[in-house]
Amino acid sequence: MNQRMNQLKEKNDGLFIPFITAGDPTPEATIDIALMLEEAGADLLELGIPYSDPLADGPTIQEASKRALAGGMTLEGAMKLVPLMRERGLTIPVVVFTYFNPLLQFGEKRFTELAGDMGIDGILVPDLPYEESDDLNTLCNKQGLSMISLVAPTSNARIKKIASRAEGFLYCVSSLGVTGERKKIDDRVYDFLETVKQASPVPVAVGFGISSNEQVKEMQQHADGVIVGSALVREIAKHEDLLKDEENRKDGLFQLKTFVTSLISS
């Protein structure tokens, strides 16, 4: 684990982890959005690499992927945005979210080396469960990258095993299904979060479906942090025209920041 990830562990409470898709709506807008998010209080940025067949994602993020791919975004292009964010002053850790196939085609070793070079702090591969992740995990360790693990409400006996190798933060899936906003999150999540917290050596963040200030507050009481993806991506889509246009991007970013602030204000 590297320096920036360690800061996360030190803060260890009320963490806010936003997810955005790289290249949605444009690479330049992605950089500006990242900086806005840090300013608004993000503790870590999850940067999604667009993929044609995102099995773990719902329609909102799927559409964002489609837009980003249509704009020519690639795995390498997404990773190269990170140093540009750093140049502009981004200090929070960045975790790259990618499905396994694009990573495999790029080459696991080449991928982790580039991630290291680009100042990326961790990777999250939603379709690479514990049992399949040994090789990538070893490569990540060599580069000081944290491999972010996920646990689901159905993980049961698997929680201990997965938590024992957790780095950076442990991603708790709030409920079954794919990513996307949910009106209500099942109350059973609280017991689940409690179990995970006891097993986890790193902060526990909960994601999937969190889209309102009320839900953020509720989940912050039971976990060390929240992850917000679809709700933010939907908001980005809503202001797509402003964000795409260099002249008007500021207005779009302002709207986005207002949304983020209202989402996480206590």
Partner 1 sequence: MQTTTSVYPDKRGRFGEFGGKYVPETLMSAIEELEQALDEAMASDEFEKEYVEHLREFAGRPTALTYAKNISEKLGGAKIYLKREDLVHTGAHKLNNAIGQALLAKRMGKTKIVAETGAGQHGVATATIAARFGLSCKVFMGAEDMERQALNVFRMELLGAEVIPATSGSQTLKDATNEAIRYWVTHAEDTFYLIGSVVGPHPYPKMVRDFQRIIGDEAKEQFTARESRLPDEIIACVGGGSNAIGTFYPFIEDDVRLIGVEAAGKGVDTDQHAATITHGKKGVIHGSLTYLLQDEAGQITEPYSISAGLDYPGVGPEHAHLASTGRVQYEAVTDQQALDALKLLSVEEGIIPAVESAHALAKAFERAGKLTPNDTILVCLSGRGDKDVHTLMKHFKGGDES
Residues 29-68 that bind partner 1 (CB under 8 A): 51-53, 55-56, 58, 62
Residue corresponding to tokens 């920041």: 257
164 touches partner 1 (CB under 8 A): no
Candidate list 24, 32, 43, 57, residue with the active-site label: 57
Question: Could you say which DSSP state residue 49 is in?
Answer: P
Region for residue 107 given its phi and psi (left: phi exceeds 0; alpha: psi -120 to 50; beta: otherwise): left
Establish if 130 lies at the interface with partner 1 (CB under 8 A).
yes
Is 70 among the residues that bind partner 1 (CB under 8 A)?
A: no
Asked if 190 touches partner 1 (CB under 8 A), the answer is no
Strand segments, DSSP code E, in the chain are 15-21, 45-48, 94-97, 122-124, 146-147, 150-151, 170-173, 204-207, 225-228
Kindly list the distances between the CA atom of residue 149 and the CA atoms of 15, 128, 129, 141, 258, in Å, as whole numbers in the listed order.
Answer: 17, 9, 8, 14, 31
Active site residue 39: no
Of 39 and 127, the one with the shorter C-beta distance to partner 1 is: 127
Q: Is 80 in contact with 111 (CB distance < 8 Å)?
A: no
CB of 88 to partner 1, least distance (A): 26
User: Is residue 132 close enough to count as binding partner 1 by CB under 8 A?
Assistant: yes
Instruction: Tell which one of 87, 110, 176, 188 touches partner 1 (CB under 8 A).
Output: 176
Residues in contact with partner 1 by the rule CB under 8 A? 51-53, 55-56, 58, 62, 69, 74-75, 99-106, 126-132, 150-156, 158, 162, 173, 176-178
Return the active site residues.
46, 57
